[in-house]
Structure 1
């Protein structure tokens, strides 16, 4: 039978069929790639030196998650800029293929308010999963003259600017919570920033700073008698150190846990994000991980990728107001 379809319509039909074929092929390729993921080790960037509480936690979590992922998760410590250097560099240079991810510390949502950055925490990252938060505290050496937090604050009141403390970096939660507290207490403290927990602890034990504001990486030194824990910053006293008061109950009005999770560069395939999310969620629920959280006195803070992103948007706006109130906003 003779084909009576006009040539123009035949050409159009052939073009549509070809386009559909390409679309199906591309979908099949993307599907195959996501199905094949991961087929090599995944790098997890921890933006703090080895040995601190975050490093201890995420190494343990990554080891468990690697079994569910079917590939090793290789940890890289890239400290600097208050925990923002490693993730920001990843966001700018890594391919969004799921083979490079990083811890997303709260400082990433604060740093752009305090100085000009060439990255945006809300648009340059793919949020994967919310994991945990910290128990923050202020510790001094065991032989410090400050037996209580009141002693420390009274010394600052008598000697404005002469009493110092170290933190894990400018703009980090241990820094900002102390600045907020100092403002509420109407005292002047001198801040000394460090690259991470390990450097800070060494400085305190060496007598180079009077106190350290940090997450619970100091736990073994407190339990071992080398440091004294003066105050914690949760809503309630900790189960592990129930004799230590909170800043809230002492009347300073500061509560901070600084939740964190994992993120990758922007533009990651949702199917790949789901593979990572599911592996880390299973790892979070593993009894071995729950045991590590107990050792670090940290609580679970699970958020899926979308809820984590929404939380980040809200926190970014809230912390802008805090930073402006503390006089730390970029000028």
Structure 2
């Protein structure tokens, strides 16, 4: 055993004290200037709207302006990479989503950022299930068992619409869990995917909650199931996949991130701030109005969720023969 001289022990104690004081100081003084929340999507989408709700409340709580800056493009890679490369001081945040964080490692050979190494999760903000939709006027697809039977009885003719590779991956998981085959038809956006089902151009789709609710309210598509672990407030009469005997629990999410290397005290302060924000009754009402479930989480729990999701989607992609770009 090596003994440390008394002088060395005093130096170590002093260094530890200085580090603790620095962390405490960072927590006390942060923030001292405006904060920017980067959104990797265009204005008007779910992530953008969530960021603006959060920014408004965060500005009040932290007593500093909080600005939302949209950096869309390349499947949100541009926005995520911008924050990953930003100074890790807590003044550049990312309103991230499951697509660029959990799905992209399965879809791209080489991302300009590593979702787990270059970004630190702060807190979840909202989760939203996918809704399994079929054409309301089609009597052959009025339930999940009927849809499965229809697909097995019409090989090569049953198909699904999806607006991105992320939704393709989720539907590939659905196909495996239900032992069915549906041909993939790509569409430009989620609303277009829902419209394809409403007109009968696609047999089914798994749509995120906003476009799904718009299609349901139009009266031309029917919800068969949701992919969340429990029923949702906006579709209380629609069963979960689990209730129907399908082992499929998938929720898309939005959440707040900072660049890796951000001081732990700053991360803790933002984490606590997000809990206060997402517990606020007005915030919850506004988020629920978007057909999104408002949530918060610890940084550690959020990181653990991402660590589970990335290998899941990598396996689904490999099993489906989907080659990364």
With the shorter chain as reference, the TM-score category is: 0.7 to 0.9
Alpha-carbon distance change, 222 to 90 in structure 1, aligned in 2, over 3 angstroms: same
Instruction: Please name the residue that 2:106 is paired with.
Output: 113
For residues 69 and 136 of structure 2, what CA distance do their matches in structure 1 show?
A: 33
CA distance in structure 1 between the aligned counterparts of 2:180 and 2:121, rounded to whole angstroms: 38
Largest Rg, 1 or 2: 1
Change (3 A) 1:236 1:275: closer
CA distance in 2, matches of 1:125, 1:308: 12
CA deviation after TM superposition for structure 1 residue 123, in Å: 0.9
Q: Which residue of 1 aligns with 2:309?
A: 315
Cα distance change on mapping 1:307 and 1:233 into 2, 3 Å: closer
Structure 2 residue aligned with 1:166, among 153, 162, 169? 162
Looking at structure 1, the residues matched to 256 and 162 of structure 2 have their Cα atoms a distance apart, in angstroms, of: 26
SS in 2 for 1:258: strand
> Any idea what SS the aligned residue of 2:121 has?
strand
Query: Structure 1 length normalisation: TM-score?
Result: 0.75
Q: What residue in structure 1 maps to residue 191 of structure 2?
A: 201
Q: Deviations over 1:7-47 (max 9, x none)?
A: xxxxxx9xx99xx89x96x9988866654432333221223
- Pairs aligned (count): 305
Q: State whether structure 2 residue 60 is matched by structure 1 residue 67.
A: yes
Corresponding residue number in structure 1 for 2:124: 130
Match of 1:278, SS state, is: helix
Q: Secondary structure at the match of 1:101?
A: strand
Point out where structure 2 has 5 or more consecutive residues left out of the alignment.
Answer: 1-6
Residue 83 (structure 1) shift: 4.0
What is the CA RMSD across the aligned residues, in angstroms?
3.7
Q: Tell me which residue corresponds to 2:90.
A: 98
Structure 1 residue 226: deviation in Å? 6.1
Matches within 5 A, 1:16-31: none
Distance in 2, matches of 1:236 and 1:303, equals: 18
Unaligned runs of 5+ in 1: 1-12
Task: Give the structure-2-normalised TM-score.
Answer: 0.76
- Out of 214, 236, 242, the position equivalent to 2:236 is 242
- 96 and 162 in structure 1: CA distance in 2 versus 1, 3 angstrom threshold: same
1:147-192 alpha-carbon deviations (Å, 9 max, x no partner): 635565556542526623123x21x2x3322111123332122142
Distance of aligned partners of 1:153 and 1:80 in 2 relative to their CA distance in 1, 3 Å threshold: farther
**Corresponding residue SS for 2:186:** strand
Deviation of 1:288 (Å): 1.0
Change (3 A) 1:279 1:239: closer
Could you tell me which residue of structure 2 aligns to residue 215 of structure 1?
A: 208
Indicate conservation of the 8 Å contact 1:102/1:262, yes or no: yes
